[in-house]
Structure 1
């Protein structure tokens, strides 16, 4: 391909060439911003591979289809490539339309047509270049173009939703084959280390050997090696798994004689109670407790709430008397006044001074009045008053106020420097003193 005419035109027409280059760069920047760099590179690769396939179609149209006229060949040669690009764009639109939050969507019929056109384009590649050259032309041309278009279509959906799964037929077949292969290789359980996989395989081998009825010397050595490799001696979980698997394998023969329920038999109706008491029990227990109380109250309207509670409890509905009163609206029972034993009356105590005579009690019999003394009788000398003992009161040192702490003059000056008066917290923090000394300093700094 000669690019000399294009270069000569760009030199003679610099302004249109610059505009074309700027437009191409802007288009590539917008595509990279909208689609992402990965999708853009995949699309560019798909375009180049499609052009590679178009070259094969150009030569095939001249040599095999007898299109010797250049204008005819120019219109007809790229029919397959244009159809491939059109089906790729339609498949991309279908995939975007059917995508959800959990699935990546499907390409539909356009996606299938992409692979059909690719298969047809392999024929011109081998017809023009033989086996070796045709393989190169087929792989680099239509096959790689189809793969890159497929990646460009699917990659954009995964950029927006990385966790989405493709629902196309090839993707579903690939996932199923991968899962079946992992299951066949014993790797179905994920997130296991190589050591754990080896231990699980050794445990399975030990279960298989131990379930046999008899073992020779070689089989016994294999069993011992499998048990040692399974590490059941130091891992209780592995030992429990080994024992459970061995028990399940040895007891598998009991499945042949196990009694199982008949799944095809019609369900048996529930048994109906035969006695009135059992029928009442069934009906009352099926009700709400409040509904059961009202139902029994309608049948026995004059029954005391306590009796109704006992009757319902006997029939399987555990309620209290208070619940019965609430359900039937009987209210709370009247309160019985409490009876206290009458205490023995004693003399009333009245506060009095030592010189006041005691007041007479209303329950005591007044003393008999003594006869007035005879005036002619000589007066008896009055008895001398007995001095009352004076109780010496000792001061309680715990109740005496604490002596004021001594304050150094230097602390007083430092306290005054903090302000008059400074807060207790400031005094304690700055001067490193206690609560009592801080209060004393605050009092001293208040005075001028």
Structure 2
């Protein structure tokens, strides 16, 4: 379209031309502002992901050129339209599988794992392997290798990185759960273990010392089994060199490690005869659930705590239970304690309830700060209040005040600790044979549990001293 008529019209009509120009500039500016705002609002992937995706697209286009030539030369697609529609089937399938694999990886990712690409991730590598064939068929060995590496192989690798790179940037500690990644991690760990590099972050000097220590332990054990022979001298020289190389003579920690390993190897034959407790002879787990856990603490947490602290927690949950009952509850929770330990923990002596003071008959005033020994204060009789008389001269009236008298009252004799009568001993506890026949009876009745003193006295009708003896024999804490 010629511009001369537009210029002529603008010169003849300056104001309409200026208005149209301003409106066009306003529309163009609004369009640019909307485009910039839309681009900023889009949640773009990180820059490494975009770069990896761009590289994958270029390599996919490189592979597409190989497919175009292969379709015309080997597949007989002479028509350009047919070739244009069919040559990019592999590249398009590769792109579709890469996008689906990235979606699967993002959907299955968690805080600790990077997710799995699933079947689309496997198809990416299958398509990549198939597209290597046209590269060699079109360009031979040398050219085919270049086309295969730069085209389908590099495209598959870049698509793989683009799929998982965004998740690795967001959560670097996340581990991939795909089958190749799992196999790779397991093979790496086993290779490091086989090479003796399982312990990380060691210096070359420390690695040398550890290897020399292990060699010295082996040679010392062999010399103990075969001290003679024509190789004994050679082994002794190797042992001396290994000990010197390990630094055990100047490093106390290395020397301790050497001696511990050597002691373990020399006494390894004792493992066959070490006495062990049978795991089948323990206390069976009760059929019903454990009683309610005090103050919301589980049984496992109680067993990890100090027994005295457990006693206080159980006491707080069961304030009316006696010491023997608290000891039984603690044992049910998996913390075996004795009644004596319960009393010590609660600092209650022989009673858990304080004596209730007797009720006062009448109010008694507070005693004086210092009261002589052997003097008892008498109660003060309070009279009803009398209305105050009219003011008078002090000289004409006699003042009165209440008089408090005291008299000496001798204290009652308090028996000495040795004068307290002993506990009544049952008749059957006088002549008890040794060993006590009730010990075997208690083992049959209570099994592997250690009963308390109160249950023993109640069951067998025996005294305190005899029940304590039976309990100590059964394994209780004295």
TM-score above 0.5, yes or no: yes
Indicate which of 196, 200, 214 corresponds to 2:226: 214
Aligned residue for 1:150? 160
CA distance in 1, matches of 2:145, 2:322: 91
Q: Give the TM-score normalised by the residue count of structure 2.
A: 0.53
Q: Which has the larger radius of gyration?
A: 1
Instruction: Report the CA distance shift for 1:138/1:322 in structure 2 as closer, same or farther (over 3 A).
Output: same
Q: 1:43·1:152 contact (CA, 8 Å) conserved in 2?
A: yes
CA distance in 1: counterparts of 2:214 and 2:55, whole angstroms: 50
Q: Does 1:99 align with 2:99?
A: no
Question: Hey, what does 2:8 align to over in structure 1?
Answer: none
Q: How far apart are 1:313 and its partner, in Å?
A: 7.7
Asked if 1:199 corresponds to 2:204, the answer is: no
1:104 and 1:157 in contact (8 A); partners too = yes
Bigger shift: residues 32-41 or 85-94: 32-41
Asked whether the equivalents of residues 209 and 219 of structure 1 are also in contact (C-alpha less than 8 Å), the reply is yes
Q: Which runs of 5+ in 1 are unaligned?
A: 1-21, 271-284, 297-311, 343-448
**Pick aligned residue for 1:51 from 48, 58, 61:** 61
- Please say if residues 114 and 167 of structure 2, whose CA atoms lie closer than 8 Å, have aligned partners that are also in contact: yes
**Of the candidates 34, 40, 45, which is equivalent to residue 44 of structure 2?**
34
Equivalent residue for 2:264? 248
118, 124, 128: which is aligned to 1:108? 118
Maintained 8 Å contact 2:323/2:342: no
Deviation at residue 132 of structure 1 after TM alignment? 2.2
The structural deviation recorded for 1:235 is 1.4
- 1-structure distance, mates of 2:109, 2:63: 31
The 5 A counterparts of 1:300-339 are 317-318=343-344, 320=348, 324-326=352-354, 330-331=356-357
Count of matched residue pairs: 286
- Tell me if the contact between 1:32 and 1:40 (Cα under 8 Å) persists in the aligned partners: no
1:93-131 residue CA offsets vs partner (Å, 9 max, x unmatched): 111111111111111111011001111111111211222
Change (3 A) 1:341 1:331: closer
Aligned partner (choices 320, 325, 328) of residue 291 of structure 1:
320
Deviations 1:331-386 (A, max 9, x none): 48999x865268xxxxxxxxxxxxxxxxxxxxxxxxxxxxxxxxxxxxxxxxxxxx
Distance 1:313 1:53, change over 3 A: closer
Tell whether the 8 Å contact from 2:343 to 2:350 is kept in structure 1 after alignment: no
Contact kept? 1:90, 1:110, Cα under 8 Å: yes
- Cα distance, 1:323–1:260 mapped onto 2, change above 3 Å: closer
Specify whether residues 31 and 249 from structure 1 end up closer, same or farther in structure 2 by C-alpha distance, changes over 3 A only.
farther
Give the gaps of 5 or more residues in structure 2.
Answer: 1-31, 286-310, 326-337, 376-478
For residue 228 of structure 1, the aligned residue among 244, 249, 252 is 244
Instruction: Return the match for 1:117 from 103, 119, 127.
Output: 127
Q: 1:259 aligns with which of 253, 272, 275?
A: 275
8 Å CA contact 2:135–2:145 kept in 1: the answer is: yes
Q: What is the Cα deviation at residue 224 of structure 1?
A: 0.6
Q: Deviations over 1:182-222 (max 9, x none)?
A: 11111111111111111111100100000012351111111
Q: Secondary structure of the equivalent of 1:34?
A: coil
CA offset at residue 136 of structure 1? 1.7
C-alpha root-mean-square deviation of aligned residues, in Å?
A: 3.7
Q: 1:82 to 1:250 in 2, by over 3 A?
A: same
CA distance in 1, matches of 2:275, 2:324: 45
CA contact (8 A) 1:207 1:242 kept: yes
Following superposition, the deviation at residue 164 of structure 1 comes to: 1.4
The equivalent residue for 1:130 is 140
Q: Give the SS at the match of 2:114.
A: strand
Residues 401-412 of structure 1 aligned to structure 2 (within 5 Å): none
Residue 73, structure 1, aligned to residue 83, structure 2: yes
CA deviation vs aligned residue, 1:67-96 (integer Å, no higher than 9, x gap): 111001100100000010111111111111
Query: How do 1:351-362 residues align onto structure 2 when only pairs under 5 Å count?
Result: none
